[in-house]
Structures are given as structure tokens and as C-alpha cells.
Amino acid sequence: MFNLIGIELFKIITKPRSYLGFLAITLIILLIQFAFYIDGKQYLDFVFQSLQNSFQIEGNVMNGSLICFIILQMLIVQMPLLIALVTGDLVSGEAASGTIRMLLSKPYSRSQILWAKYIAGSIYTFALIAWLGILALGLGLLIFGNGDLVVLKSDELVILRADDVLWRFLTAFFVAFLSLSMVTTFSLMLSCFTDNSITPIVASMSVIIIFTIIGTLDVPLFDKIKPALFTTHMIIWRNLFDNPLPMEQIIQSLSVIVLHIAVFLSIAFWHFNRKDIQN
Amino acid sequence: MRTLLLLVGITMSVEMTMAQTAKETIARVNQHFAKVKDYAADIAMNFQIPGVNIEPISGKVYYKTPDKFRVKTKGIVFLPKQNPYYALAMLKDTNAYTAILSGNEKTGNSNCAIINVIPNSETDLILGKFWIDNARGVVMKSQLTTKSNGTIMVENRYGNMLTYALPDKIVFTVDMTKFKVPKAVAVDLNSKSKKSNNESNKGTGTIELQFSNYALNKQLKDEVFTQE
Amino acid sequence: MSSSAISIRHLSKKFGAFSAVNDLNLEINAGEVFGFLGPNGAGKSTTLRMLLTLIKPTAGEIFVLGKNLQEHRSEILTQVGSIIEKPDFHLYLTGFNNLKIQARLCGLQPADKQLYELFETVGLKGREHDKVKTYSHGMKQRLGLAQALVHNPQIVILDEPTTGLDPQGIIDLRLLILRLKNEMKKTVVLSSHILSEMELIADSMTIIAGGKAVVQGKVKELLSNEDLIIVIEPQNNILCAQELQQSQWQQRIDVVGESTIAMKLSKHEIPELIKFLADKNLGTYSVSYKRTLEDYFLKLTNQPHV
């Protein structure tokens, strides 16, 4: 099994497309950090405008944690798209290129092969998240320093003390990884159903975009279906920055995420195991 | 006519007496406070600001006459725009304002004289109202109406440092509109919007400063107040 | 008596209402080159895919090296190397890395030296570290052969292996297949729709059409008595035609063209014809024959002897 995972990882590593996500993340993060380095004060003055009329705010507000949070906020919407680009291609890409015939006529079972692909895809997802963390948090702390985190929620401003922030970020990265694993399994599932690499990638992206739009629209009709959309639960990482922690909501969303992963994986395995390779 | 003159005379003499009494009361406050040239103390801060969810924080606080004041903490804090000694520093210069005793009121366990202070010249302060403990000669409460920041209410609680008129606790109440993160930068996509759970605080923000471990008159350097 | 390498019993595959393979029975002996023929869409690829577990049969059983394929899949597939349809590789990887992946998929950790030797065997020496996207179709076909052989399997399944190869490549492949059979004692299953190709290297063959076996047997026996179209290209076409008209070959002339003469003969009669031409001192550029599967197939369908 490790052998198979190693092979799948090797394929991902050597595929130029795999680096698009890393490149995009690097560019976006550096751009945001540069923009905040230059104009961050104006941004914060704008945010705190009304508070500054009544209070004097002291302390390092513009710090690495805040920049990381803002980056996470902006990037987490794009991450599923970058991930689907690779994971949506894991099975269908092999079908499209014809290599699936050689792969599936080897002594490994189809389940082993799909597990290896899923694990390799998850490792890629993890690597992308880790890279995001290193750049957004690590580099952010280096450039902007440490400090309390100001969470710009729409209904209130939550200020978390610096020593209370790191564990939240680490947990948030893990939760974001779980959320994105849902995208990994979703695109992998679609990938099992088609023999070209574009369809599952585009389909994954489309579903995510449509669900996110429905989730964002404040229309009463959509309020009822929002809890059923997996994208609704993908932003649960943000609740880790609330005070107090909305544990019930977090556990509920994590359960939904794990359930979705299980369902998507089951469908993928069921179909892949009985699929006739005709191309 | 004589009656009228008598009435005017009585009124003037009462006013003069009241002004005299107000100045005497303020003098007692100044006398207490004159013993303090500078101090450093530990501080614990607690915030109740509508729309802002912030944990308490502790740190160090520094003061030096006439009105240098600095709070140093490891995190973000909200402070009133006027420092806590703004009013006391102003009271020191008795020629700069007119003080009028406007009554008495019980504040907590203290019988307080209410003294209105009106600056004689153009300043940010429009009107100052002080509740001064008659027995102990310390400011229990003050209400400052300023041009720039509206009304600020300051309440003092005293303990061990009463002789120096240094409070153990100061509570600031500031008029404000409930803070809202601008929509352009707000982040709660998909989240269930919470209703404000602090309706009673709507419109005013409160900051509590709890002082302890005062170290008095240690000749603090000015750099303490300017260093980052 | 040779033992059975592959035994297919009552194998059927349906795609919806369409029956791609219908109650097919096959016996392939160990150590022989087996030709699996049929026109396009006859069911060759579907059968081979079922042999490699790429497609699940609707009914029937497959035994490989005496074991049931469904029950001993992994064990059996370690003994099978294959190219199905066309060899496809990860284009963004080098040929060497592609081959390494295939070896590792067979559970091997081959030394680089072994892989270089394999590249040499299939005629790709010097191109090991070029990306596969720079390979021609023929080169990919050669790399496909290398991957089919990388784990030294007992059975090699090659689906249309000469497609895209240049003439030298085709000759090399034939020699390699014969080497696999004669020196390495491997069983080779070849699928093709070109009968003449099979005639050169296959020991036995099966022709299928519409998912059913039309003919099965030893190649020599099946093809020896068949009439062929022999094409003579003489120096003097008219003189040659006159001589043939006046000889015992008269009845066998099919068509006299501008520069060639076509005759209907059995394969064993060809040496006699060549001797006749030489005796008559008729200068001849060539005497050749070509047998297409279509011809043979059409002929078979008119003769219900299967």
C-alpha cells in the first residue's frame, strides 16, 4: 500500500499542474502581505473608524495573526478550486490518458488503488494547507510580528489574546484540511464517473461556486437548504476564532463534513470497483 | 426696595459661599493628590464595549504629574481618549475654571458634594461635574462633557491608597454608537447572524481599570511614556 | 502434451442489450504464440480486457495458469504482462520513470541497470530519460513492450502490437516475440486483424466475430490448404502470360494486368510455380501473396465447417 501511495505521490509531484495551487497561494499571500505592509494602517483606520471616535486603541493590531486570518478568509474560498484541479484528475486523468489500463491490470486491487489515490490526494491537500500556514502565519509573524488577533466578524469584533491564538490557528488549519478533504473526496468521486479530466474538475468547481453563492445569498428560500449544502460547513474553521467557542455548531459541522466524506468515498469505491474500463 | 436689596445680597452671599465651599472642597482634593508626583502600578483591565468581544487583560500602568499616563500590556487595549488624570490635572489650576457647588448626593456610602466646573477659556472640556466625598476629600465620580468625545463618566473606588487620592478601581463609561465591522471587510459568509446579546450596553462602552501594587514617587523617567 | 496457460469457459459480456462476447471458449497452451484474430468490433479487446480484469464478465470463467482469475486475481496478474489497445504513459514523465512506476506497480524495486537493459532490448537505448511526450507512436509501442516485460511475466498479452511501428520495428517485434517463446518459454497472446502477420509467428489461433469463435486451431493446419492470390511481377508481362496460358497453370490464372499476373494457388504450390518461371527463363521481379483476414473470414462464413 505504501508503495502505491508513493507512486501516486510521485505522479502528483511530477505533474506540472500540481504546482499551480502552490504558485497561486504564494502569489496571493505575498500580494496581500505586501498590500498590508504598505496600506494596512489605512485599512485598519477604516475598520476602526467608529471605535476610534470614542476610544484610543493601543497594541499591535496589525500583526501576523490578523494578516493570516484575513488571508485565510480570502483564500479558503479559492482553495477548493485549486485542490479540485489535482484531485479531480486522479482517476479520470488516468482514464483520459489511457494509463488506467496499465494501472488496473497490475496485481493491486481497485480498492487499494483508489485508497492510494485518495491518500495521495489528501496528502496533497494537506501540503497545500501546510504551505498556506507556513506562508500566511509563519511569514506573517515574521513580517508583522505577534499580537492579539482582531477577528472582523460581521456582527462583532472579537479580540483574542496572543497566547490564545496559535492553538486556534493550528486547529483551524486541521479543520480547513477536513473541509477541503470533503472537496478532495467529492472531486475524486466525480473523477471515478468520467473518462476525461476536465469534467470532474469543472463539475467540482461549479458545484462549489453554486453552493457558495446560494450560501451567501440572504434569501429566505435558501435559508432552509443552506444547512444541507456541504459548502456551508466548509467555513466552520472560522468558528474556532469565536469567543466563546460555539462547540455545538462546530461539532455539528464537523459531523456533517465527516459524513459527506464517508458518503462521497463510499460512492467512489462502489463505482470504481464495478467500473468497466472500455476506453 | 430694601427687601429686594436684601434678597440680592443674600443670593450673592450664598453664591459666593457656595463658590467658596466648592473651591475649598477642590483644594482638599488637590491637597491629597499633590502628594503624588508619579507612580507605577499593576493594572487589570476589563472591557464592556458594544460590538466588541474582548477578554480582560493585565499589565503595568505609569503616571507622572501633571497628566502623563501610560498603560503597557502585551495585547490590544481600549482606553478612553482622555486619560484618567485629565480632570484632576485640570482641577489643579484653580484660576482656569469656575467651580460651583450644585448640591449634595449620596454616592455609594459617601455623601458627596456635586461641583460643576466650567472652564474660563476655550478648551475641549465644556463642562465638568464632580462628585466629591465631603468627608474624605476625594473625587468619587466625574462626568466630563467634551467637544471631541461627548460625555465620559468616570467612577472611582478607593482602598489602601485613599490618602493619596489614588483609586483601586476606575470605571469609565463612554458614549458611543455600537461598533459594526464595515461590510466590505466583514467575514461571516454563511454564518447565522447573531442577535446582539448585550442590549443594555448599547450606546455606552465601559472600561474598568483595577489598580494594585502602587509604587509611588519613584521618579519615573519621561521615556516610560514615549517608548514603544 | 502442453499444459494450458489460459482457459476461457463460456465467457460472455453484455453492455446493456449489446452482446460483445458471447459464450466464448478458448484454450491457450503454455509456451505458444497464440493469435487472436477478428475484425474490428469482433470482441477481441473485450475478451483481453476480461483477461486482465479491466472488464467484468457477465458470465463464464477464466482460468490462468490453472487458477481461477476471479479468485486469484493478484497472484495471476503478477504473471501477466500486457499492452491493451495502445500503450499509454504519463507523458510528463520520462520513459525511464514510467517504466520504474510500472515495475513498482508489480511490486518490484528493479535496479536501474535492469531497466536500462530492457530499454536496450526494445530498441529505445539512449532515449530513457526523454519525456514520453517526445516519443513517436512507435517508440511508445516499444516502451509498452518494455513495461509488459518488466516483471518477467509468464504470459504476455499484446493487443495489436505492430500498430504504428515502422517496418524495422515490426521485424524487431516479430523477432522479440519469437525470442520470448523460444528462449524465454513465455506464452504470448497476440491480437490482430492482419492474418498474414499471424501466419508468420503464431502457433495457434482463434478468429472471432460478433463475440463468437468462428475458427480455432493450429495456424499451419488452418492456412496450409487455403487458396491464395499470388501476384507475379514479370519482366515481360505478355510473354509470361502466354507461357502460363500454354502450361498446366492455365486454369489457375485469375487476372492478367498491365504489369502483373494474379493467380489462385495453394501455398504449397508456390515453389513449383517459381521453378516453372525459372525453367522457362521468364525474368521475374517478384512472386508474392497476401492473405487478408477479410478474405479468409468471408470465405469461412461461406463454409460452415467450424
Please report, for chain A, the start and end positions of each structural domain, with discontinuous segments joined by +: 2-274
pLDDT of B19 reads 54
pLDDT of B193 reads 45
Ramachandran quadrant class, A230 (left: phi over 0; alpha: psi -120 to 50; beta: rest): alpha
| ipTM of the complex in this document | 0.77
Percentage of chain B beyond pLDDT 90 is: 12
Put simply, the answer to whether B190 touches A152 (Cβ < 8 Å) is no
Q: For C4-223, CATH number? A: 3.40.50.300
Residue of C nearest to A15 (CA): C92
> How is residue B122 written as a grid cell?
476655550
Pairwise CA distance, residues C127 & C119, whole Å: 8
pLDDT of A112 reads 92
Residue of A nearest to C133 (CA): A97
pLDDT of B224 reads 82
- The mean per-residue pLDDT over the stretch C17-30 comes to 87
Q: Profile chain B (228 residues) by mean pLDDT over runs of 10 residues.
A: 54 50 83 85 91 88 85 87 77 84 84 90 86 87 84 88 87 79 59 47 80 88 77
Residues 6-25 of chain A whose Cβ lies under 8 A from any Cβ of chain C: 6-7, 10-11, 14-16
Residues 97-116 of chain A whose Cβ lies under 8 A from any Cβ of chain C: 97-99, 101-109
Chain A nearest-CA distance from C269, in A, is 44
What pLDDT, in 10s, does the model give residues A221-230? Answer: 888 888 888 8
pLDDT of B195 reads 45
Query: Smallest Cβ distance to B53: which of A61, A162, A243?
Result: A243
> Does residue A164 belong to the interface with chain B, where contact is any CB pair within 8 Å?
yes
pLDDT of B166 reads 87
What pLDDT, in 10s, does the model give residues B157-214? Answer: 988 888 888 889 999 888 777 676 766 666 554 444 444 444 444 578 889 999 999 9
pLDDT of B4 reads 57
- The mean per-residue pLDDT over the stretch A130-151 comes to 90
pLDDT of B45 reads 92
What pLDDT, in 10s, does the model give residues A35-50? Answer: 989 988 888 888 787 7
pLDDT of C86 reads 80
For residue C26, pLDDT over 60 is answered with yes
SS3 C136: coil
Pairwise CA distance, residues A265 & A251, whole Å: 21
Percentage of chain C beyond pLDDT 70 is: 92
- The mean per-residue pLDDT over the stretch A256-264 comes to 91
Cis peptide before A244 (omega within 30 of 0): yes
Pairwise CA distance, residues A204 & A216, whole Å: 18
What pLDDT, in 10s, does the model give residues C58-100? Answer: 999 999 988 898 888 888 988 898 888 788 888 888 989 988 8
Tell me, which fold does domain C227-290 have in CATH? Alpha-Beta Plaits (3.30.70)
pLDDT of A31 reads 92
Is the pLDDT higher at A215 or at B184? A215
- The mean per-residue pLDDT over the stretch C2-6 comes to 79
Pairwise CA distance, residues A65 & B76, whole Å: 13
User: How many contacts (CB atoms, under 8 Å) link A and C?
Assistant: 81
Interhelix angle A79-87/A110-133, nearest 10 degrees: 150
Residue numbers in B near A73 (CB within 8 A): 187
For residue A127, pLDDT over 90 is answered with yes
Pairwise CA distance, residues C118 & C112, whole Å: 10
pLDDT of C297 reads 66
Residue numbers in A near C89 (CB within 8 A): 97, 99
Query: Smallest Cβ distance to C77: which of A14, A106, A277?
Result: A106
Pairwise CA distance, residues A198 & B33, whole Å: 78
Put simply, the answer to whether C91 touches A97 (Cβ < 8 Å) is yes
- The mean per-residue pLDDT over the stretch A22-33 comes to 91
Lowest mean pLDDT among A124-133, A246-255, B9-18, C133-142: B9-18
pLDDT of C2 reads 55
Is the pLDDT higher at B23 or at A167? A167
Please report, for chain C, the start and end positions of each structural domain, with discontinuous segments joined by +: 4-223, 227-290
User: Exposed, middle or buried by CB within 10 Å (0-12, 13-18, 19+), for A175?
Assistant: buried
Q: What structural domains and CATH numbers belong to chain B?
A: 2-217 (2.50.20)
